[in-house]
A and B are shown apart, each in its own frame.
Chain A
């Protein structure tokens, strides 16, 4: 009972004038002889134990199960997503490699074609130049032939001219001797002319 006024004072401090009357009958909580108060403790113990057992055996495990299954599901989904990402990365890598391979192939093809074209052009140019050279050679040969022919006629013409001139000058001419002389003059490079 001694606690009573102090509690009330602290509780109803602003009402300092009133607690006197309020505590007159004392606090019902401190009537420990009251069977209802004692029964309250016994009933409370029974209720609390039942409450605790229901919570720990049934209600809380139910919450725990839901939380656990959710966590597992989220974990599974995460794993799935991680695996999908790995697959996608791999595919991406493969794609990159394939593209690189293809570009390498294309470059090589271009190189080959270019070389082949160059070779073909070279071959054609060679053939053309060979034909031209052949033509030139033939033409030169023909020229040489004509020249030789012309040169071979030169002696006769020169001899006849010499015979004619000699006949005109001296009345007679020895075609044999003149011909020999012309021949000689020609071979010595025409020094006496």
Chain B
């Protein structure tokens, strides 16, 4: 929170124990709380939406079906026939991240996707699953991908480390992309919000008028963050699909 002339743009990312000493003992912070909230929202959206189970859907049911179709098409179109097996995982990933991103835009809430530990854990999960899938579908020949086909053998000592490096950097780029986007957006929101207070406090009546400008910018930034939140969830999901397609391909 900003006070006076200092801007504490990073304080919003601090973790605090919840439920008193009980939460402290279990290392429960507000981050898992918001993960639970996000999961409950997604599940409630599906359960409440599909409760009528009518042939001609209402709005909520149509929205639930559309989200199902959207991710189902994404998974099957990208991964192929085997995509149906990964569909629930992609669905869980996409909506976990999307809801996390959007929950963070609410005042007094917390964005768990702004923590590199969380995004890295998700990315490593994707990485491990794609390696296991690749080993299952391709066996040992999976390792052939580290030597590009048709490349001169002379270049192998150079190419193989590069390929391995680019493969290993996948979870890192995947996690940092989401994490950095979320952090940057929230830092910007915080900084402009602090500007409003600083202008109002330090410049008096004139400052009150000028303070409108950062508020206007924050409104625009919120709209941008809505776009970024959706886009990052989509990017995460589609990159997961692409990695899995490579894993199931021969």
Tell which of B10, B50, B179 touches A63, judged by Cβ atoms closer than 8 Å. Answer: B50
Question: In the complex, are the beta carbons of A43 and B27 less than 8 A apart?
Answer: yes
Interface size grouping (class) on chain B = 35 or more
Question: In the complex, are the beta carbons of B191 and A12 less than 8 A apart?
Answer: yes
How many A-B residue contacts, CB cutoff 8 Å?
155
Tell which of A11, A36, A52 touches B188, judged by Cβ atoms closer than 8 Å. Answer: A11
From known contacts A36-B17, A59-B46, infer whether A52 and B88 are also in contact, taking CB-CB under 8 Å: yes
Q: In B23-60, which residues have CB < 8 Å from any A CB?
A: 26-29, 31-32, 35-36, 39, 42-43, 46-47, 50, 53, 55
Residue count of chain A within 8 Å CB distance of chain B:
48
Please encode chain A, from 17 to 37, with 1 for each CB lying within 8 Å of some chain B CB and 0 for all others.
Answer: 010011101111110101111
Q: In B79-108, which residues have CB < 8 Å from any A CB?
A: 87-89, 91-92, 96
From known contacts A12-B191, A44-B112, infer whether A36 and B29 are also in contact, taking CB-CB under 8 Å: yes
Q: Main secondary structure on chain B at its contact with chain A?
A: helix
Least CB distance from A58 to B in Å reads: 8
Q: Main secondary structure on chain A at its contact with chain B?
A: helix
Which residues in B have some Cβ–Cβ distance to A below 8 Å? 6-11, 13-17, 26-29, 31-32, 35-36, 39, 42-43, 46-47, 50, 53, 55, 61, 64-65, 68-69, 87-89, 91-92, 96, 112, 114-118, 121-122, 125, 179-180, 183-185, 187-188, 191
Which 4 A-B residue pairs are closest in the complex by CB-CB distance? A39-B27, A56-B88, A11-B184, A43-B32
